Amino acid sequence: MTAKLETAMEQIEIATGVLVVGGGMTGVATALEVAQQGYPVTLIEAGDQVGPAAESRPRTGLPDVQRLNDMAARLAKTDSVEVLTAARLDAAAGVAGDFKVWLSTAEDVLERRVGAIVVAAEFDTTPLFDAYGLAPGESVIGQSEVERRLAEDPRAFADKTVAFVAGFAQNGNPLVMQRIFHSVKALQAGGAAGVYVYVGDLKVADDGLERQYRLGRDGGAIYFKLRQAPAIAVSEAGAVIGFHDPVVRQQIEVAADCLVVEEALGVGPECADLAAILRIDIGPQGFLQSDNIYRFPVATNREGIFVAGASREVRSLPWALADARNAALRVAEVLGDGTRLVPRDKAVVDIGKCTFCLTCYRCCPHGAIYWQAENKPVISPVACQGCGICASECPMDAIQIGGFSDEQIRSQIGAKLADVNGDPAIVAFCCQNSALVAGEMAAAFRMNLPAGLRTIQVPCAGKIDLQYILDAFVSGADGVLVMACHPGNCKSERGNTYAGWRVEDAQRLIAGAGLEPERLRFATLAANMGTDFQAIVIDMEQKIRDLGKSRLR
């Protein structure tokens, strides 16, 4: 066992420095956590301050601002953390364990070698005046402005009537609501004459928000939940907000001295550039994480690059700090003690066959392939996830995956079909992350499965070559199933898409050879659905019984 391990594994050196991008609280917490684990950190911040001061809005309602400032101060005193303000990430190269990054500051361009990178951006606030057809002014202000005024003078709105509108210009999120609840509380404490909140959906799905909402109401705030934005008329004296109440059948109007307009909370403007520089996938709304459960909680498509806080979602500070700790955990896992045992054969390029076409570099969803000085593609055993997409896409068949070489997979096909007798012979190529598990579940639960079903494990559906499918038919399969994860659930993002394309190609080819294309089917399913697996394979068996035996068998 040990001997075998020694030949198959190699020890490589890992750079233990870590780059943290962003000097808001998420970045500060990440840097502190990482440094605590004994890794040197470089933290860059575009502005000239780190900590709460680096953030675009006041941290309302948190009793812990002093502690946040303390954290920033502690960071400044930590020797193993290099803090660069007015600094940007200009470029990055390399892979997990061995990134090179170029940082520009006001004076200099610095080069650092790091093993891991954490993006800890803060979110941006955008007042939504336009969406309400309003212009900011004396009596119309944004959420940040009301917070600023209240922070300056708790009685800034004493004896005034203040109204909020939220949830009509955007779906919003709990943090949008939380800011309003805090302002409502502050207004009540500061002697406001009346507080009205017009809201679409009350987004209260975060700790304590429903209670805060009720407390505000108990304190006299009036909430109107509407399907559409109310009518707003702004004059010198203030704003009149009105809507028709269908239940009491009358127009309800409120004259407010000040109308507070909601703000969108989204990714900062730097995120798009960071994604391009770091070659990480952008998700919905521009966040630096695709909406894929394999990325829970702080992973990206690239090993060694993590996202925390508002880089990946807009949530309250406690969640951003939880992200910081998760990111630190992940970083430690990649860096270890600065060395790592990795399999030699995870994915290997045969340079003799390679024509340097760049296909593999472009299609690797995990950014695990880089070019060496001699212009050779090299696959990083740390960053590679072994999906095999590159191997199947390489026009020269120059890449082989450990445990899943073409020979290993193809030799199984005939062997597995050998003992199928009278029943319809079905070969199911199953992604090991989904269909394989679902199939094992169906078998373990003793669900009724076709007697002639033979499954073949692949690391990702993206590893299912056209050739394997054709082999299966040539070897006597009456039907072939290509079973992948549901779109959006592929660990390698696009493995299922590649598999779907190859099935379409193969259907054309087998039709050309006189086989019914229905004998080949592409299906997607999840690991926890043994019943779906059963339904798909039983349906296939029935289809084959209807069609009869393959004419190649």
Partner 1 sequence: MNSQTKKVMVIGGGIAGLTAAWELARAGVEVALVEKAAFLGGHGIQYACKATDECQQCGACGVEKMLANVIDEPRIRVYLAAEAAEVTGDGPFTVTLRASGSQPGAVDAACGQGYDKDPGACAAARGYSVHNAVFYKADGGFDPDRVAAPETVTADAVVVATGFTPFNPDEKPTYRYRELANVVTGLDLERTKRIYGEVRRPSDGAVPRKMAFIQCVGSRDERLGHLWCSQACCPYALRSALAARHKHPDLDITVFYMDIQNTTNSFDAFYEKCRQSLRFVRTIPVDMYETEDGGIRTRFMAEEDGLPVEEIFDLVVLSVGIMPGADNPVLAGTLGIELGTEGFFARPDLLNTSATARGGLFVAGTAGGPMTISGAMASAGQSAAAVLHYLGRA
Question: Which stretches of the chain bind ligand SF4, using CB under 6 A?
Answer: 205, 293, 347, 349, 354-360, 364, 366, 368-369, 377, 379, 384-390, 394, 396, 398-399, 401, 486, 489, 526, 528
Comparison of 220 and 395: residue with beta carbon closer to ligand SF4 = 395
Distance CA 275, CA 144 (A): 28
Using CB distances below 5 to 8 A depending on partner kind, what does residue 354 bind out of ligand SF4, partner 1, none? ligand SF4
Peptide bond into 63 cis (omega under 30): no
Query: Is residue 283 a contact residue for partner 1 (CB under 8 A)?
Result: yes
Query: Which residue is associated with the tokens 């509108």?
Result: 165
Using CB distances below 5 to 8 A depending on partner kind, what does residue 347 bind out of ligand SF4, partner 1, none? ligand SF4
Query: Is residue 339 a contact residue for partner 1 (CB under 8 A)?
Result: no
By the 8 A CB rule, do 280 and 300 touch?
yes
By CB under 8 A, what part of segment 231-270 binds partner 1? Answer: 246-248
R_g of the chain computed on alpha carbons: 29
Shortest distance, position 180 Cβ to ligand SF4, whole Å: 17
Choose, by CB under 8 A, the member of 88, 203, 340, 521 that binds partner 1: 203
Using CB distances below 5 to 8 A depending on partner kind, what does residue 64 bind out of ligand SF4, partner 1, none? partner 1
Q: Which stretch binds partner 1 (CB under 8 A): 30-38, 366-374, 400-408, 506-514?
A: 30-38
Please report, for residues 92, 117, 212, 243, 523, the alpha-carbon distance to residue 276 in angstroms, rounded to integers and kept in the order given: 10, 14, 40, 46, 33
Query: Is residue 82 a contact residue for partner 1 (CB under 8 A)?
Result: no
Q: Which stretch binds partner 1 (CB under 8 A): 78-86, 322-330, 388-396, 421-429?
A: 322-330
Using CB distances below 5 to 8 A depending on partner kind, what does residue 67 bind out of partner 1, ligand SF4, none? partner 1
β pairing state of 194-199 and 222-225:
parallel
**What does the per-residue mask of binding to partner 1 show for 43-72, with x meaning CB under 8 A?**
-------------------xxx--xx--x-
Shortest distance, position 71 Cβ to partner 1, whole Å: 8
From the list 429, 491, 412, the residue with the least C-alpha distance to 465 is 429
CA 500 to centroid of chain Cα atoms: 23
Please report, for residues 206, 418, 426, 477, the alpha-carbon distance to residue 421 in angstroms, rounded to integers and kept in the order given: 58, 8, 12, 11
466-474 vs 495-512: helix crossing angle, rounded to 10: 40
Using CB distances below 5 to 8 A depending on partner kind, what does residue 104 bind out of ligand SF4, partner 1, none? none
By CB under 8 A, what part of segment 529-548 binds partner 1? Answer: 529-532, 534-535
Using CB distances below 5 to 8 A depending on partner kind, what does residue 399 bind out of ligand SF4, partner 1, none? ligand SF4
Query: Is residue 440 a contact residue for partner 1 (CB under 8 A)?
Result: yes
Using CB distances below 5 to 8 A depending on partner kind, what does residue 284 bind out of partner 1, ligand SF4, none? partner 1
Choose, by CB under 8 A, the member of 125, 173, 475, 492 that binds partner 1: 173
Number of residues that bind partner 1 (CB under 8 A): 82
Query: Is residue 123 a contact residue for partner 1 (CB under 8 A)?
Result: no
Using CB distances below 5 to 8 A depending on partner kind, what does residue 535 bind out of partner 1, ligand SF4, none? partner 1
Q: Which stretch binds partner 1 (CB under 8 A): 209-217, 232-240, 500-508, 544-552?
A: 209-217
Distance CA 204, CA 201 (A): 9
**What order do you get walking across the sheet with 222-225 strand by strand?**
140-142, 258-261, 161-166, 194-199, 222-225
Choose, by CB under 8 A, the member of 145, 210, 423, 516 that binds partner 1: 210
530-547 vs 435-444: helix crossing angle, rounded to 10: 90
Comparison of 515 and 527: residue with beta carbon closer to partner 1 = 527
**Quick check: helix, strand or coil at residue 539?**
helix
**Quick check: helix, strand or coil at residue 483?**
strand
In sequence order, the 6+-apart residues with CB closer than 8 A to the CB of 364 are 384, 389, 390
Q: Where are the alpha helices (DSSP H) in 198-302?
A: 209-218, 271-278
Shortest distance, position 85 Cβ to partner 1, whole Å: 23
Q: Where are the alpha helices (DSSP H) in 78-208?
A: 143-152, 174-189
The per-residue DSSP string of 39-90 comes to: --EEEE-SSS--SGGGSSS--TT-TTHHHHHHHHHHHHH-TTEEEESS-EEE
Query: Which residue is associated with the tokens 């193969």?
Result: 506
Query: Is residue 35 a contact residue for partner 1 (CB under 8 A)?
Result: no
Using CB distances below 5 to 8 A depending on partner kind, what does residue 131 bind out of ligand SF4, partner 1, none? none
Shortest distance, position 197 Cβ to partner 1, whole Å: 13
Shortest distance, position 211 Cβ to ligand SF4, whole Å: 13
